[in-house]
Amino acid sequence: MIGWLAACVEPEPTAVLAWQSGAGGYVIEARELPELHDVRHMKGEVGSIEYGGYVDVDAGWTGGRELDIRIVVEDGVAVPLDPSGVVLYSFYAHLVDTVAWAELQGFEAEALVPVQIAVNPAVDVLIELTPADNLAYGTGYHTFVILPDGGERDVPLAANLGVVAHEFGHALFHALLSGGPQQPPLVDDLSLVSARWLSSLHEAFADTLGALITDDPAFIQQSIPIDSRDLNGRSPMTSALVPEAGNSPLDLYDPYPLGTVFAGVFWEFRLATDDPARTALLLRDTVERWSPTVDELDGGFFLEAAAAAAGEELPQLCSAITWRFPEADWPGPCRALDASP
């Protein structure tokens, strides 16, 4: 009788099937993921993934329920019977890798987990989520939101390491600026100029992390062909990109074009120094020095902080800034550098 029972119990998997980035792009393969303690119910060290519930502007995310991923175990590998299970394993593995990587770069990343992760919740119409935003971070209620991919993707967004690092970057940036992941956003009226600067610098920080962890300035293009988000693109700052106040809180603002200019400065710095770890440190020190009041939510103050944080690599940073901001006033430290013989 006991033998019959043992034969019926499926062995516990020691690995999961997930999208992994390799030299030639992404492939689906087995990987060990001991941080995911319960592969069927998606519970582990960096958080639990739950299904459904509701995202509300005021209350955040509530009401999710436990997932039950149907798997077969083949040679010790958890193989989901539904491809969306592979996407969730991939997301989890990328989140584990992102937290470990960011901690190594000097960010207090482990303090941000475990985090809530919601799959396919209902979302309040007041929250802007476009089909491209099917992976999102809920600022102030510290929740990652995974929605179904809006179109055919080579690599689903939630399975793209750079995109997962980008979303984690929003959590890190918010925690650095506001003092903790559960703090409310510094400004929430998106019609204000300061809020628009803030949202563009949010995207800049997040895209820089995504590019550094993958060492790919066009990491999003593994999933969606968006040339304008390539940090290697040469789009410079123009006066048209300077945020202007909107007429109402519901006025839309596209934070990406301006964000890409700022992320491009850091990518340029990474190329000039050939040092991704130094670049990540510069990014962290910039935000710590910036530490803005609402009045200082502005790209000029951000660049001043970057220049103050650059240390011996100031020349590389200043040339990265002039490359992207050909017509702007340089930060003070760069002006001083230019004046020296």
Asked if 163 is part of the footprint of Zn ion (rule: CB under 5 A), the reply reads no
State the minimum distance, in angstroms, from the CB of residue 189 to Zn ion: 19
Cβ-closest position to Zn ion = 206
203 versus 298: smaller Cβ distance to Zn ion: 203
State the minimum distance, in angstroms, from the CB of residue 219 to Zn ion: 13
Give the C-alpha separation, 331 to 298, whole Å: 13
69 versus 135: smaller Cβ distance to Zn ion: 135
Q: Which of residues 203-242 bind Zn ion (CB under 5 A)?
A: 203, 206
Could you tell me whether strands 15-22 and 77-80 are parallel, antiparallel, or unpaired per DSSP bridges? parallel
State the minimum distance, in angstroms, from the CB of residue 98 to Zn ion: 14
State the minimum distance, in angstroms, from the CB of residue 26 to Zn ion: 20
166 versus 284: smaller Cβ distance to Zn ion: 166
Q: Which of residues 86-145 bind Zn ion (CB under 5 A)?
A: none
SS3 readout for 253-285 = CCCHHHHHHHHHHHHHHHHHHCCHHHHHHHHHH
Binding mask 54-93 for Zn ion (x = CB under 5 A): ----------------------------------------
42 versus 302: smaller Cβ distance to Zn ion: 302
State the minimum distance, in angstroms, from the CB of residue 53 to Zn ion: 22
State the minimum distance, in angstroms, from the CB of residue 184 to Zn ion: 18
CB burial readout 204-238, b (16+ within 10 A) else e: bbbbbbbbbbbebbbbbbbbbeeeebbbeeeeebe
Give the C-alpha separation, 241 to 227, whole Å: 17
206 versus 213: smaller Cβ distance to Zn ion: 206
44 versus 107: smaller Cβ distance to Zn ion: 107
Q: Which two tokens stand for residue 56?
A: 């509300």
Give the C-alpha separation, 226 to 97, whole Å: 25
Give the C-alpha separation, 83 to 122, whole Å: 21
State the minimum distance, in angstroms, from the CB of residue 203 to Zn ion: 5
Give the C-alpha separation, 145 to 123, whole Å: 10
Q: What are 122's strand-pairing partners? A: 54
Give the C-alpha separation, 3 to 106, whole Å: 52
For helices 299-309 and 193-214, angle between their N-to-C axes, nearest 10 degrees: 40
Q: Which of residues 169-208 bind Zn ion (CB under 5 A)?
A: 203, 206
172 versus 206: smaller Cβ distance to Zn ion: 206
State the minimum distance, in angstroms, from the CB of residue 206 to Zn ion: 5
- Residue with structure tokens 């050939």? 274
Site size toward Zn ion (CB under 5 A) is 2
131 versus 315: smaller Cβ distance to Zn ion: 131
Which residues of the chain form contacts with Zn ion (CB under 5 A)?
203, 206
